[in-house]
Amino acid sequence: MASAVTSINDIKVLKLAEVHAKPSKSMMSYGTAGFRGKANELDHIFFRMGLLAVLRSKCKKAVIGVMVTASHNPEEDNGVKLIDPHGEMLQQEWEVYATKLANVGNDEIIKELNNIVKLENISLEEQATIFTARDTRPSSIALSQAVKDGIAALGGTSKDFGLMTTPQLHYVTCMFNCGETDASEESYYTHFADAFKSLVKEKSDSSIVTVDCANGVGAPKLQKLYEHIGGSIDLVVHNNAEVGNGKLNENCGADYVKIQQQAPVGLNMEPYHRYCSFDGDADRLVYYTLDSDCNFILLDGDKIASLFAHHIQELLADAKLEAKLGVVQTAYANGSSTNFLKDKLKVEVACVKTGVKHLHHKAQDFDIGIYFEANGHGTVTVKESWRKLLASKTTQTNEDEANAAKRLQTFLSVINEAVGDAMSDMLAVEAILHAKDWGVREWSALYTELPNRQMKVKVADRTVIETTDAETRTVKPSGLQDGIDSLVAQYVNGRSFVRPSGTEDVVRVYAESDTQENANSLADKVSSLVYDLAGGTGEKPKCS
Ligand code: NG1
Ligand code: ZN
């Protein structure tokens, strides 16, 4: 356990801060998923996040997680984020501290740390334990060390789990703080494999799933999970760098498949076979297949959310259980998915700002909250009080109702409630398809997506764009929203919005319309408008 410190040891912190010195011009902010950037410019940030994690741990009197990954970004990037005690994203007030601490000069670090101690009334005598883990990026080893140096500089104890997926670190952090002192990677596999095996006792003929692991940490971890699952599913691991030497996220992975709407590199697809992709740290999942004419069919986060809602609703009806069931989406959700959920399933749908923390928070308003970003990041949250109601239903005398309640209970335990998790979400999808005796064809037929297109526009300063209404409208620069409105009005079923990315130095443009040509054309016109009104740089982007 950590040795207690009663005051900040200036000398130790400053000495190590010199080793992890900040380049004078660097200014960064804690974005949608922590700090992200070029790996060779981030060493000081990782050290400082080690420092901050110690204060957060002392403040919460709990274990805090620090994950080293830049997820779906290119291999040359890296990133760091803090995980709060129950596996949630870092509390928003602390994001402000994180940004300040990341940007002060070395000579102001002690002042900044003392400020946080004072503002949060932190007792420095508290012990601090931090769980760390990293993805497979070559830069992640040294950057993890920088985090550990920061932890040590403030007298905290670090437990390094080494290579792990992001959701695995969320899971062990959450489990440890809930009293499971032997929370480990092994307990992760046992938990999810056992839940899956009790839902799927026998393989069905169609249950071969080819998984593109983006040449990332998901590949070795999925192999391990598979060993625990045994014979109830057939998995083929594709884009496993250890075998094929491919580059992380390059022409593969969930983000590539979602944005390009095409198969990852090296995958020969067969109509209606099952394929899915993880991203670089395995917290996103998208499925896809080919139809009989070999057209590419994507089953993204919206389709996964719709499948979950459909299944949970059925089990609730079978168990004769009332629940406030809701689905949380962002503006990137396809309009057809929102219509399906609202009009067909009659489920309440909420739209929030991009970023899992916003979705997770909103989902907790419901007894059962399903949240997914269209890119495949999502999970299901359940209110503790409602979980008790469900448990009591499993022991009721009506056998059919009790059995349905048990099925729902087991289904919910195959889900990693702490955070979106590609591996556990994949098991949940497979369990539903098995229960319904569906293939991708039936699943995909739940609704037909409106054609859509996403683009990126490079501008000198992306903060010139300010948004409102869950990022669906811009308020700055002036004239941009009016321009978008008049373009959208020219397209059948047109919808478009723009927002500054929180993880890349770009402005994102989204457009949907009745045909792919129209969606492309609307995306092109809106991108061009952003370029002109928000200070575009380089060549004007064009997709059609
Ligand atoms: P930004 O770069 O802020 O759009 C992207 C995703 C988010 C989220 C984060 C974290 C889109 C459009 N945006 O954020 O949904 O997943 O990365 O990885 O997919
Ligand atoms: Zn990710």
Query: Which atom of ligand 1 has the smallest separation from the CA of 499?
Result: 4
403's CB contacts (< 8 A; 6+ apart) are: none
* pLDDT tens-digit readout, 195-226: 999 999 877 766 799 999 999 999 999 999 99
pLDDT at 6: 57
CB 524 within 8 A of CB 514: no
Grouping H, G, I as helix, E, B as strand and the rest as coil, residue 52 is helix
Tell me whether residue 374 is annotated as binding. yes
Query: Which atom of ligand 1 has the smallest separation from the CA of 377?
Result: 16
- Whose CA is closest to 155, among 339, 338, 13, 303? 13
Query: Where are the domain boundaries for CATH 3.30.310.50 in the chain?
Result: 452-533
Of 95, 300, 455, 503, the residue with max ligand 1 atoms within 8 A of its CB, to mutate for a pocket test, comes to 503
328's CB contacts (< 8 A; 6+ apart) are: 349, 350, 351, 352, 359, 362, 363, 369, 370, 371, 372
Report which residue type is found at 273: H
Task: List strand residue ranges (DSSP E) for 113-248, in order.
Answer: 129-134, 157-163, 208-212, 234-238
Superfamily of domain covering 187-297: Alpha-D-Glucose-1,6-Bisphosphate, subunit A, domain 3 (3.40.120.10)
Give 337 Cα–ligand 1 centroid separation in angstroms.
19
Pick left, alpha or beta for residue 486 (phi over 0 → left; psi -120 to 50 → alpha; otherwise beta).
alpha
Angle at 513 (CA atoms; ends 512, 518), nearest 5 degrees: 105
Tell me whether residue 375 is annotated as binding. yes
Q: Does domain 452-533 have CATH number 3.30.70.20?
A: no
Angle at 79 (CA atoms; ends 78, 81), nearest 5 degrees: 160
* Backbone φ and ψ of 317, nearest 5°: -65, -45
How are the residues of the chain apportioned to helix, strand and coil, as percentages rounded to the nearest 5? 45, 20, 35
Written as one string, the DSSP assignment of 169-206 is: HHHHHHHHHTT-TT--HHHHHHHHHHHHHHH--S--TT
Residue with CA at minimum distance from ligand 1 atom 18 = 33
| Strand partners of residue 453 | 511
- Burial classification of residue 345, based on how many CB atoms lie within 10 Å of its CB (0-12 exposed, 13-18 middle, 19 or more buried): middle
Residue with CA at minimum distance from ligand 1 atom 3 = 502
Percent of the chain with pLDDT over 90: 89
pLDDT tens track, the chain, 544 positions: 444 455 777 888 999 999 999 987 888 999 888 999 999 999 999 999 999 999 999 999 999 999 999 999 999 999 999 999 999 999 999 999 999 999 999 999 999 999 999 999 999 999 999 999 999 999 999 999 999 999 999 999 999 999 999 999 999 999 999 999 889 999 999 999 999 999 998 777 667 999 999 999 999 999 999 999 988 899 999 988 765 578 999 999 999 999 999 999 999 999 999 999 999 999 999 999 999 999 999 999 999 999 999 999 999 999 999 999 999 999 999 999 999 999 999 999 999 999 999 999 999 999 999 999 999 999 999 999 999 999 999 998 899 999 999 999 999 999 999 999 999 999 999 999 999 999 999 999 999 999 999 999 999 999 999 999 999 999 999 999 999 999 999 999 999 999 999 888 899 999 999 999 999 999 999 999 999 999 999 999 888 6
Give 71 Cα–ligand 2 centroid separation in angstroms.
4
CB 197 within 8 A of CB 229: yes
Catalytic, 71? Answer: yes
Q: State which CATH number among 3.30.70, 3.40.120, 3.30.310, 1.10.3210 fits the domain covering 301-444.
A: 3.40.120
What is the number of other CB atoms lying within 10 angstroms of the CB of residue 535?
Answer: 17
Spatial separation of the C-alpha atoms in residues 253 and 79, rounded to whole Å: 18
Grouping H, G, I as helix, E, B as strand and the rest as coil, residue 116 is helix
CB 103 within 8 A of CB 167: no
Give 3 Cα–ligand 2 centroid separation in angstroms.
34
Tell me whether residue 477 is annotated as binding. no
Spatial separation of the C-alpha atoms in residues 65 and 174, rounded to whole Å: 9
Residue with CA at minimum distance from ligand 1 atom 16 = 355
pLDDT at 3: 45
Which CATH number is associated with domain 2-183?
A: 3.40.120.10
Residues with CB under 6 A from ligand 1: 32-33, 71, 332, 354, 373, 375, 377, 501-504, 508
Instruction: Give the pairing of strands 452-457 and 466-468.
Output: unpaired
CB 274 within 8 A of CB 234: no
Query: Where are the domain boundaries for CATH 3.40.120.10 in the chain?
Result: 2-183, 187-297
